[in-house]
Amino acid sequence: MEPGQLSRPAEPGHCVSGSPSESAAFPASLLSTAGAEPWGRPAAVAAVLPAGGCGERMGVRTPKQFCRVLERPLISYTLQALERVSWIKDIVVAVTRENMEAMRNIIQRYGHQRISLAEAGPTRHRSIFNGLKALAEDQPDCKLTKPQVVIIHDAVRPFVDEDILLRVVIAANEHGAAGAIRPLVSTVISPSADGCLDQSLDRAKHRASEMPQAFLFDVIYEAYQQCSDYDLEFGTECLQLALKYCHTKAKLLEGSSDLWKVTYKQDLYAAESMIKEKISQEVCVVVNTKDEESLGYLLKEVLRKELNCLNITSTPLDHTGGDIQNFLIAQCYSVISVNVVSSDFQKTQKFLSTLGESNLPLLYPVVVVLVYFLDFTLAPLTQEMENLMWIRELAKEVKKRNVLLNGLLINYSQDKQKLQESLRQGASIIGALVKERSSALAGQLLVA
């Protein structure tokens, strides 16, 4: 399987393999190394994820990797990001004994694959060491295959993409070790013993060491076997261990700002907003006609401006009613179904029941908005609302499956300007529902 190919619907966003310009930085000889895959990537790659932290900096009781973002534990997003990369064969997660059961439940509930669990140690380095032992063939309890290169990543950096993973792996294969770095946001200083400024470091000459990192397995495993108890207790930097004990100078690679580590409460908020933004980029507008002059198409155009969307697809409902999986593979978690006449609702219900009955794990809340156009001057608005009360009941049902259903009535005025205003308001309501994904507001009938 080629890098970049998806094995199942997963993290939205771009799965980029190393772009030609980046790959060109590696010597041509690497691209034809014996036993290596195309682009110089070794065949056997595994990942170790230390997830034993207690999250004390977050100021909440739940360890940060288990904090919920859109109702799903943060670590599940990170696992999703790693497992969508088909060439990572095994992912070893080190969790504390007390969180082992919770972790198994997460893996089962969200359908994670290729995951093995190891017991976390009392420090980050000890957890990583335990993860490596699970992969090392010299250990009696090793059930996995020893990889050529191992990635080390943090459970609390959910936005890692295939591009940086590939780059650190290829660089580790060449240099023995590699890691992502970022420019410093703040100046780094060293305090004297009396709490005063001793020295300020030149910001241009230093970098923040981030994750992911990758190592030739034998290098990092040797380093952990050699290193002192002091290192295991107080050390923070795997690259440093490889340098100190194996004389391996890690290659440093600039990563994107998305690699930041969820550390404080504000980071959790930021992660939630980033995820909401990503899943709002794809919206499917379902229309029952191919007439491009129709209200559905008009609404789509207004929506495109309102949502500032990367991609709005429109599909007639007949086609999609039977194949909900297509939506999820296309990573579309927002469906706007436009119904000009209210008898269209059977098709809509069929669509929703298919969504509800699907066995696919819904990794994100799916927003479904049923849009009805109605000339408010012809019939009382409330009469039409009465006709749509079934949406409230249906919403209750599908909410159990993480589907957030709303009805939206848009004024179909004969006055072009008024119609435009209604479409704009409708698009703005849809925008709020898509972006905020608030389960508390599911089931409401809204009016534009």
- Hey, which residues between 209 and 238 contact a copy of itself (CB under 8 A)? 209-210, 234, 236-237
| CA atoms lying within 13 Å on the CB side of residue 356 | 16
Alpha-carbon distance of 194 to 198, in angstroms, equals 10
Taking the CB of residue 2, how many other CB atoms lie within 10 A of it? 10
Interaction with a copy of itself in 116-155: which residues (CB under 8 A)?
none
Alpha-carbon distance of 148 to 215, in angstroms, equals 9
Using alpha carbons, list the distances in angstroms from residue 143 to 55, 75, 231, 295, 422.
30, 23, 27, 59, 61
Sketch the per residue contact string, 390 through 429, with a copy of itself: x for CB under 8 A, - otherwise.
--x--------------------------------x--xx
Q: Are 151 and 169 spatial neighbours (Cβ–Cβ below 8 Å)?
A: yes
Interaction with a copy of itself in 235-264: which residues (CB under 8 A)?
236-237, 239-240, 243, 249-253, 257-258, 260-261, 263-264
User: Does the protein bind a copy of itself through residue 195 (CB under 8 A)?
Assistant: yes
Cβ proximity to a copy of itself: between 115 and 232 the closer is 232
Q: Are 155 and 50 spatial neighbours (Cβ–Cβ below 8 Å)?
A: yes
User: Does the protein bind a copy of itself through residue 206 (CB under 8 A)?
Assistant: yes
CB of 103 to a copy of itself, least distance (A): 24
Cβ proximity to a copy of itself: between 41 and 251 the closer is 251
User: Does the protein bind a copy of itself through residue 265 (CB under 8 A)?
Assistant: yes
Alpha-carbon distance of 153 to 128, in angstroms, equals 10
User: How are beta strands 177-183 and 251-254 bridged, if at all?
Assistant: parallel
Question: Contacting a copy of itself (CB under 8 A), which of 182, 304, 350, 401?
Answer: 182
Contact residues for 376 (Cβ-Cβ < 8 A; gap 6+): 411, 413
Alpha-carbon distance of 246 to 439, in angstroms, equals 52
Sketch the per residue contact string, 266 through 285, with a copy of itself: x for CB under 8 A, - otherwise.
xx-xxxxxx--x--------
User: Does the protein bind a copy of itself through residue 378 (CB under 8 A)?
Assistant: no
Alpha-carbon distance of 379 to 367, in angstroms, equals 28
CB of 442 to a copy of itself, least distance (A): 10
Interaction with a copy of itself in 54-93: which residues (CB under 8 A)?
57, 59
Question: Contacting a copy of itself (CB under 8 A), which of 188, 305, 379, 415?
Answer: 188
Alpha-carbon distance of 212 to 391, in angstroms, equals 46
Sketch the per residue contact string, 314 through 343, with a copy of itself: x for CB under 8 A, - otherwise.
------------------------------
Q: How many residues bind a copy of itself (CB under 8 A)?
A: 78
